[in-house]
Amino acid sequence: MRPDAAAGGPTTVGSVYVHAPFCARRCVYCDFAVQVRSVGDTSGWLEALAGEMRAVQDEGLFGLATRLQTLYVGGGTPSLLGPDAMAGLVDLIGVERLSSPDLDWTAEANPESLTADVARGWRAAGVNRLSLGVQSFDADALRWMGRLHGSDGPGKAVAVARDAGIDDLSVDLIFGLPDGVRASWSADLDQALALDVPHVSLYGLTVESGTRLGRSVAEGREQPADEERYREEFLEAARVLSGEGYVQYEVSNFARPGHESRHNSVYWSGAPYLGLGNGAHSYAHPVRRWNERSWDAYAAECRAGRSPESDREFLDHDATRLEAYWLGLRTRGGLALSDLTQPRVDVVSGWSARGWAVTEGGRVRLTPEGWLLLDRLTVELAATPTG
């Protein structure tokens, strides 16, 4: 049974995620909530989002802050929506809500669809940070992934963004590719550094059962990277990027000081946020909920004036504590030792002795070696008796 969402009043959120589901092609490893089409349905997207926003307002669980602090448009491939999509989003959310002088507005783009018109239109609307889906610079790896940009695509996209006045840039890279993909991880890191962007995000390739990659692995046609190579490539990235002045402020994210993702930091802090779009998640303690994954099902619900929510969960004390440990340990800020019982402090001391953690300033944080064991260590800490 769901309690009255409006009891106690709505939770005010200053951070909003908006999902843009359209992709020109589904990558071999992709298990995201995407809709394959060559051009994004911008008008249908904005219409569905407007319907969801009305449903959110009617429900009364969330209320948007007068001025948002962060807005993140992810996907999918938002750049398929064209140059006017972000101006349409401004009309939907409201100019005043997006008027904060320190608003962090990030939008994702793929190199092949970030045209000069798109970049200029987005910047004029207020986008001030771009996350580019580079993944690799190797032509063979890009073909295997199903990416549509060539080796020179990332450099061209960075130039386009900078020409439009967007200098706060992040690039995504994937490591741990299957044994049959003969790409050089070291070369990818070197070429990412050559772009001179202030933020780099790493993603270790995972094999999801419903993807083309998952089917290939199940049938023996692909062999995933073994645990040792996965480990070596992660640690190489940590060493190389840190040596070039990037701070590993979260397990998968590296930034030059002052260029951390403020939006993603909201997730890691446990603060409330609103997610709009198919497959999007929202959180207002103790409720986490998520929308229909299918674009067609989501849009139909929104057009019919109904909430597109698919399901929700309520976090009890134990789940909340486990999540707090996991979120804290995945960031450079770590956990306060004063928040841990003595038996758990003893566990942390054991981690430090193994090189998995460091303690300083009354806090414990994981090392890169420890981050490779993040899930295991989180469960170990939460399962430790309190006395």
Q: What token pair was written down for 175?
A: 């490591």
Q: How far apart are CA 328 and CA 9, in angstroms?
A: 28
Q: What token pair was written down for 136?
A: 């690799």
**pLDDT for residue 190:** 98
* Partners of 20 in the β-ladder: 75
Q: What is the pLDDT of residues 92-139, one digit of tens each?
A: 999 999 999 999 999 999 999 999 999 999 999 999 999 999 999 999
* Residue 73 pLDDT greater than 70, yes or no: yes
The residue-averaged pLDDT of 147-162 equals 97
Smallest CA-to-CA distance from 134 within 112, 115, 118, 119 is with: 112
* Residue 9 pLDDT greater than 90, yes or no: no
The DSSP annotation for 46-98 comes to HHHHHHHHHHHHHH-SEEE-SS-SEEEEEES-GGGG-TTHHHHHHHHH-TGGG
**pLDDT for residue 3:** 37
- Please give the single-letter amino acid code of residue 287: V
* Partners of 107 in the β-ladder: 73, 130
What CA–CA distances, in Å, run from 298 to 15, 31, 271, 310, 328? Answer: 21, 17, 25, 9, 33
Q: What is the pLDDT of residues 222-242, one digit of tens each?
A: 999 999 999 999 999 999 999
Smallest CA-to-CA distance from 127 within 254, 20, 211, 43 is with: 20
**pLDDT for residue 182:** 84
What CA–CA distances, in Å, run from 382 to 237, 327, 336, 379? Answer: 29, 13, 15, 5
The residue-averaged pLDDT of 144-168 equals 97
Position of tokens 């969402």?
A: 5
**pLDDT for residue 13:** 98
Mean predicted lDDT score pLDDT of the chain: 95
Do residues 81 and 48 make contact, with C-beta atoms less than 8 angstroms apart?
no
Smallest CA-to-CA distance from 274 within 87, 70, 85, 100 is with: 70
Range 251-261 burial, b when 16+ CB lie within 10 A, else e: bbbbbbeebbb
Q: How far apart are CA 132 and CA 106, in angstroms?
A: 10
Q: What is the pLDDT of residues 33-56, one digit of tens each?
A: 999 998 999 999 999 999 999 999
Tell me the domains of the chain and their CATH numbers.
Answer: 11-269 (3.80.30.20), 318-383 (1.10.10)
Position of tokens 């089409």?
A: 37
* Residue 5 pLDDT greater than 50, yes or no: no
Q: What is the pLDDT of residues 176-215, one digit of tens each?
A: 999 889 889 999 999 999 999 999 999 999 999 999 999 9
